[in-house]
């Protein structure tokens, strides 16, 4: 039987990935700042990245997925992704009855760790949330 440690050692996708060749485009940030999820993922190439870089930062306009770097990522703590726990704690959206479609759900590390709670926050996430969280944590540390 699989335990959580075994699962965390498996290769899941990070849903907060950068725009680089081979990454999978799975969502587009709409005019409300929320994510519209694609039916299926699209592997991006150099051409896409060159075109996307002509506008605002691609990671602010699209959502990409790629292999979770695990211990190679600064968000990896105690054998799992710490970022999704912070996102659930800070955004605090309730879980909705109808889970939105997402083309990477079965491979998503955040879903593997926090299931519907992760998905309830996810459509408000743009990749620079890491920066926002880091800034918020710094403010909290200096005011406590």
Residues that bind ligand SF4 (CB under 6 A): 14-16, 68-69, 73, 75-76, 81, 83, 102, 104-105, 108-111, 118-119, 122
Q: How far is the CB of 22 from ligand SF4 (least distance, A)?
A: 14
- Name the minimum Å distance from CB 15 to ligand SF4: 4
Q: For residues 29 and 104, which CB has a smaller minimum distance to ligand SF4 in the complex? A: 104
78 Cβ contact list (under 8 Å, min separation 6): none
Residue 51 vs 77, nearer CB to ligand SF4: 77
- Cα–Cα distance, 115 to 95 (Å, whole number): 10
Closest contact distance (angstroms) between CB of 144 and ligand SF4 is 25
The nearer residue to ligand SF4, 69 or 95, going by C-beta atoms, is 69
How far apart, in whole angstroms, are the C-alpha atoms of residue 22 and residue 53? 16
Nearest distance from residue 6's CB to ligand SF4, in Å?
Answer: 17
Residue closer to ligand SF4, measured from CB, 50 or 65: 65
77-111 core/surface letters (b: 16 or more CB in 10 A; e: else): eeebbebbbbbbeeeeeeeeeeeeebbbbebbbbb
């Amino acid at each position: 039987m699989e335990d959580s440690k075994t699962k965390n050692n498996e290769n899941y996708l990070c849903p907060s990935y950068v725009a680089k060749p081979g990454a999978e485009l799975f969502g587009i940030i709409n005019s409300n700042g929320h994510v519209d999820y694609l039916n299926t993922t699209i592997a991006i190439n150099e051409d896409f990245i060159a075109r996307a870089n002509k506008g605002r930062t691609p990671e602010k306009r699209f959502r990409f997925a790629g292999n979770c770097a695990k211990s190679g990522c600064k968000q990896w703590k105690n054998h799992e992704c710490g970022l999704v726990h912070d996102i659930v704690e800070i955004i605090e959206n309730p879980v909705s009855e109808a889970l939105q479609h997402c083309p990477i759900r079965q491979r998503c590390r955040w879903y593997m760790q926090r299931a519907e709670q992760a998905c309830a926050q996810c459509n408000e996430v743009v990749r620079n949330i890491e920066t926002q969280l880091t800034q918020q944590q710094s403010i909290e540390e200096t005011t406590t």
